[in-house]
């Protein structure tokens, strides 16, 4: 007994406890591959549930350590309230994607062990990004996530549009990764460390003022971040990748991938380099305005639902940049609230799209939604709730997400930016409510089929409940976000 206690203490001292959550997810990915080798093809329906079990165990491990701060491996990863919040969010989003994938992958003939294994490996990479407090460790997680998503984006190997999406994502992603890695190199050259804490100490001690090398390093890091969240002018890959990738993977890229990058962006620029934060607020201001405006205006002209949601995703990245520009605990806590709300409503919207079919293909043309409320009232109501929330209409999670963001901007003196954000939100009402109008006010000229899936129905129910509950009781979630951000300060 004594030896086991000593071993546990030794493991904790070495930092293995901080790595437990994403290690469980990575081991689950390997288990899924092994199970796939032993199963006959007709029993592959078990794979998403084996994957889901690993996600649940990982979430349980984070819940057990909630509120405890544990650093690992020489202080390069940290399990605290902030990383725990995003860790749970990433695992929740992945669980929803797995539930949606259970029927979608089977119907589209991509139900393979490597599909679920890559999804779990991507999740472990996203969690490593969230837990990292060192630029090199973050980059390692970023590459694990990115490489898995490059493959998953082209999983429809017989479709040219899917292969094109994967190649475009890979080539542009490689360039963005190169910029980011060069930024890390310059950062190390300027400060002698890649640890966030060391960067903060060196830059705020007054012993050395930020020079051109530091600003160049941060600019290159921002290029990598902006690419991953889809901010202007690094957004051009998003519409093609969202359209070409399997719909379940599109929902993952739009939410989980973005959440992991935003977590690191908040941690690095909020807690590590406060000295240069003011200088980069101008860059964030311009990018926020350009991203919101382009995303909302171009979304109006789209006729494909996935491309419309792609430009919607760009616009929502702009809203989040408003909160990052505002900075401070209010701004950063609004980022956490918004990312959680965005995860529910975006995965829900793509989940509904994944269930709709026209003849032998997915019903992706916006005109296909005409009149489906008469034949599929429950599914139409579900999609309407997500569209209303994405538009920011009360009482939904999307409304309060934007309310907290714009309130933080006004409190920090960025009133003009908040006004521009509100005007952009009004523009977005048109293309979101157009879907609702078509479903309820137009007669359909073609028969739309709905795939039957209890797992997908459960995922959509969770998304609806999350969207509504966050809109009715926003203060509870806002308090959770604020307490999580407080761990950074």
Q: What is the pLDDT of residues 353-391, one digit of tens each?
A: 988 887 677 777 888 888 888 888 898 999 999 999 999
Q: According to the model, what pLDDT value does residue 6 have?
A: 41
Instruction: With residue 435 as reference, give the H or E element that holds it.
Output: helix 415-441
Q: According to the model, what pLDDT value does residue 209 have?
A: 54
3-class DSSP state for residue 77?
strand
Q: According to the model, what pLDDT value does residue 44 have?
A: 76
Mean pLDDT of the chain: 85
Instruction: For residues 4 and 19, give the distance between their C-alpha atoms in angstroms, rounded to a whole number.
Output: 19
CB 207 within 8 A of CB 282: no
Calculate what percentage of the chain has a pLDDT beyond 90.
Answer: 43
CB 113 within 8 A of CB 43: no
Mean pLDDT value across residues 97-108 = 87
Instruction: For residues 444 and 247, give the distance between their C-alpha atoms in angstroms, rounded to a whole number.
Output: 23
Helices (H) and strands (E) in the chain, counts: 21, 5
Give the up-direction half-sphere exposure of residue 141: CA atoms within 13 A in the CB hemisphere: 26
- Collect all residues with Cβ–Cβ distance below 8 Å to 158 and sequence separation of at least 6: none
Residue 182 burial by CB count (10 A; 0-12/13-18/19+): exposed, middle or buried?
middle
CB 327 within 8 A of CB 224: no
Closest listed residue to residue 396, CA positions, set 333, 340, 472, 460: 472
Calculate what percentage of the chain has a pLDDT beyond 70.
Answer: 91
Q: According to the model, what pLDDT value does residue 1 have?
A: 42
Q: What is the chain's Cα-based Rg?
A: 22
The lowest-confidence range among 186-190, 335-339, 358-362, 482-486 is 358-362
Mean pLDDT value across residues 103-131 = 89
**What residue has token string 């201001």?**
285
Mean pLDDT value across residues 99-109 = 85
**What residue has token string 């933080």?**
408
- Collect all residues with Cβ–Cβ distance below 8 Å to 268 and sequence separation of at least 6: 135, 138, 196, 221
Q: According to the model, what pLDDT value does residue 279 have?
A: 62
CB 349 within 8 A of CB 384: no
Mean pLDDT value across residues 288-298 = 93
Six token digits for residue 429: 């009402």
Q: According to the model, what pLDDT value does residue 17 have?
A: 80
Residue 57 has pLDDT above 80, yes or no: yes
- Collect all residues with Cβ–Cβ distance below 8 Å to 481 and sequence separation of at least 6: 85, 333, 334, 336, 337, 340
The secondary structure of 130-191 as a DSSP string is HHB-BHHHHHHHHHHHHHHHHHHHT--TT-HHHHHHHHHHHHHHHHHHHHHHHHHHHHHHHH
- Give the count of beta carbons closer than 10 Å to the beta carbon of residue 415: 12
The lowest-confidence range among 3-7, 223-227, 468-472 is 3-7
3-class DSSP state for residue 79?
strand
Q: According to the model, what pLDDT value does residue 13 have?
A: 52
**Band (208; pLDDT cuts 50, 70, 90):** low
Q: According to the model, what pLDDT value does residue 42 have?
A: 75
Considering only residues 450 and 208, tell me which one the structure prediction assigns the higher pLDDT.
450
Length reported for the chain: 489
Mean pLDDT value across residues 206-231 = 78
Q: According to the model, what pLDDT value does residue 189 have?
A: 83
- Collect all residues with Cβ–Cβ distance below 8 Å to 378 and sequence separation of at least 6: none
Instruction: For residues 354 and 248, give the distance between their C-alpha atoms in angstroms, rounded to a whole number.
Output: 7
Instruction: For residues 5 and 13, give the distance between their C-alpha atoms in angstroms, rounded to a whole number.
Output: 12
Q: According to the model, what pLDDT value does residue 278 have?
A: 55
**What residue has token string 């599109």?**
250
Residue 8 has pLDDT above 50, yes or no: no
Residue 3 has pLDDT above 50, yes or no: no
Q: According to the model, what pLDDT value does residue 277 have?
A: 56
Mean pLDDT value across residues 452-458 = 86
Phi, psi of 303 (to 5 degrees): -110, -10
CA 76, 80, 85, 90 dihedral sign is: positive
Residue 255 gets which letter from DSSP? I
Q: According to the model, what pLDDT value does residue 12 have?
A: 52
Closest listed residue to residue 346, CA positions, set 414, 419, 250: 250
Q: According to the model, what pLDDT value does residue 201 have?
A: 66
Instruction: For residues 194 and 133, give the distance between their C-alpha atoms in angstroms, rounded to a whole number.
Output: 9
The lowest-confidence range among 119-123, 137-141, 230-234 is 230-234
């Amino acid at each position: 007994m004594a030896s086991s206690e000593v071993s546990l203490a030794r493991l904790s001292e070495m930092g293995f406890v901080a790595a437990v959550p994403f290690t469980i997810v990575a081991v689950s990915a390997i288990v899924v591959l092994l199970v796939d080798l032993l199963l006959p093809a007709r029993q592959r329906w078990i794979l998403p549930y084996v994957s889901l079990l690993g996600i649940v165990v990982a979430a349980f491990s984070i819940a057990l350590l909630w509120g405890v701060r544990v650093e690992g491996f020489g202080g390069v990863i940290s399990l605290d309230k902030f990383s725990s919040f995003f860790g749970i969010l990433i695992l929740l989003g992945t669980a929803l994607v797995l539930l949606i994938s259970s029927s979608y992958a089977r119907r589209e003939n991509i139900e393979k062990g490597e599909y679920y294994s890559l999804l779990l490996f991507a999740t472990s990479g996203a969690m490593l990004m969230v837990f990292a407090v060192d630029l090199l460790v973050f980059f390692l997680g970023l590459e694990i996530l990115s490489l898995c998503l490059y493959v998953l984006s082209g999983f429809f190997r017989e479709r040219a549009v899917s292969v094109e999406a994967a190649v475009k994502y890979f080539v542009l992603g490689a360039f963005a990764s190169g910029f980011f890695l060069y930024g890390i190199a310059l950062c190390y050259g300027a400060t002698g460390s890649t640890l966030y804490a060391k960067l903060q100490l060196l830059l705020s001690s007054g012993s050395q003022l930020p020079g051109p090398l530091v600003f160049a390093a941060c600019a290159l890091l921002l290029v990598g971040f902006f690419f991953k969240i889809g901010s202007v002018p690094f957004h051009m890959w998003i519409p093609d990748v969202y359209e070409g990738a399997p719909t379940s993977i599109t929902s993952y890229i739009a939410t989980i991938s973005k959440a992991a990058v935003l977590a690191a962006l908040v941690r690095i620029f909020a807690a590590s380099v406060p000295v240069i934060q003011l200088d980069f607020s101008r860059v964030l201001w311009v990018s926020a305005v350009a991203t919101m405006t382009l995303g909302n205006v171009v979304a109006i002209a789209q006729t494909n639902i996935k491309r419309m949601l792609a430009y919607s995703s760009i616009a929502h990245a702009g809203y989040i940049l408003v909160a990052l520009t505002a900075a401070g605990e209010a701004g950063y806590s609004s980022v956490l609230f918004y990312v959680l709300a965005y995860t529910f409503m975006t995965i829900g919207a793509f989940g509904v799209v994944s269930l709709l079919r026209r003849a032998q293909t997915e019903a992706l043309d916006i005109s296909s939604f005409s009149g489906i409320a008469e034949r599929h009232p429950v599914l139409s109501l579900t999609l309407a709730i997500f569209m209303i929330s994405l538009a920011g209409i009360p009482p939904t999670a999307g409304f309060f997400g934007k309310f907290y963001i714009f309130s933080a901007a006004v409190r920090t003196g960025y009133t003009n930016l908040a006004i521009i954000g509100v005007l952009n939100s009004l523009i977005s009402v048109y293309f979101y409510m157009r879907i609702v109008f078509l479903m309820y006010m137009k007669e359909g000229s073609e028969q739309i089929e709905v795939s039957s899936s209890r797992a997908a129905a459960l995922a959509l129910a969770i998304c609806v409940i999350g969207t509504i509950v966050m809109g009715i009781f926003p203060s509870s979630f806002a308090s959770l976000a604020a307490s999580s951000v407080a761990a950074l300060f």
